[in-house]
Structure 1
Amino acid sequence: MEENPEVAKGFSVNRIDVDRFWRDAAVKLNSHGPPSKDGATWKKVWADFKNKTKKKLVENETKRKQSGFNDNNLIPLSEFEEAIVRITSLSQSVSGIKAKVFGVNQTRIEEPDVAETASTSNNNISMTSINEDEEHLVEKQRSQRTKNDTPVQLLQKQNEVFEKFFADLCSKLDDMKYEFHRINRNLQRTEDRQKQIYEENRRHNLALENIMLQKLELKKKLIEMELEKLTEKLVDA
């Protein structure tokens, strides 16, 4: 993956190259023994690991901000997860960019790679559900405010609510991208099958035409033989 960072991040738009990469990767990975998976399944495994690592980073970033950037209580990352962060630049995507929300500078999570995930139970994702989630989170934020909250505490609570919203938004966008890719693959398979059926029908029709031509040639020869016999009889008569 270090040699193919664009594939690791999900930036590549050439589906043929990506599919070829995962087919080759599956051969190499399967050569090390069980489990044995095809390229699409290994691609899903990588997306799952990347998504879980991203969630850890988001949680750690939230803890750091709540504790005044204290790193003592952060969730430790494994060596493999640290490699994922390094290859895919997840730290930059989790730290996000500043944007104004309700008149206050907030941090918005930007996920450049929007990795494919394995969840097929979320096939009916829509932007309507995302907007409903946003309204729910804003309402939840308002309900959590008390008279004793200081402006700093209010800002922290607002920040936590929107960080969770944007993390959930990135996850749903991941699911949507995976579903779109799945539909695209199915359409491609259907198109390939239609081409195959067309070629088979064309070969079948050509074969039938050849058979008909052969029959016509045979009938022509039989008619010529009959004419020769009739001519001979007329001459003898």
Structure 2
Amino acid sequence: MIHAVTAPFSAALTVVLMLLAIAAGAVLLFGAFALIGPALALLFAGIGAAVQGIGRLPRLTARGCLRLGQQVVVWLPGPRRWHRWVARHPKAAQGARMRLVRRRRVAPALLQEVFVNTTTSEAVRVAVVRRCTELGGVAQVMPTVARDWWPNAFAWPLTYADDAVLVQQALRNCLRLKDRTVLRSGYARLAQLAGPEVVWAMELEYAGSLERMDPVVRGSMQAGDTDVLLKWLD
């Protein structure tokens, strides 16, 4: 009799316990997903990006491969013919030429080839001139450039040389090519090499009168102060 009465309660208790176990399992499962969800998201995102990258491989252009090759060969110790290709080829990337110029060991002939290449940017030419200063000067590293006449594209980079005569000659060619504000850095370099008097005389000759002179140069001249010019060094 007792068994007959308690049997329904026992079955109900069993059902309740099963429901509680299922609920606890669900909570644990959702908690686990909450913990590993971000990691799974990152994993799936990485897989998706890799798949997309593989899908883009056929679309790599010859130009992209060429630029990658230039970046690699510039940092290699040889063969030198690759370095000369970067220096000479009209399609060589400016970044590759800049890295070539900044190599710890670079042949002077390569520096000149980079400089005189008509497709070399002004920024790279400035880097060449500055590197020449480290290697003995423009006259020693690029004697042809320092000695012979050169196009206007060479003028501004040569104002970064360490030779006062060369800087003065190059700066004269820039007076009508560059903005007056830009010219001040060239004047500052010339003043550092040859003194402010050379700068004052050049600007006065170019302007034609004291009133028409560049205000910075005129102020330096009137105050007899070189520091006003040297503040424009870059």
TM-score normalised per structure 1:
0.22
Q: Which has the higher strand share?
A: 1
Give the structure with higher Rg (CA). 2
Point out which structure has higher relative CO (alpha carbons under 8 A, 6+ apart): 1
The alignment's TM-score, normalised by the length of structure 2, stands at 0.22
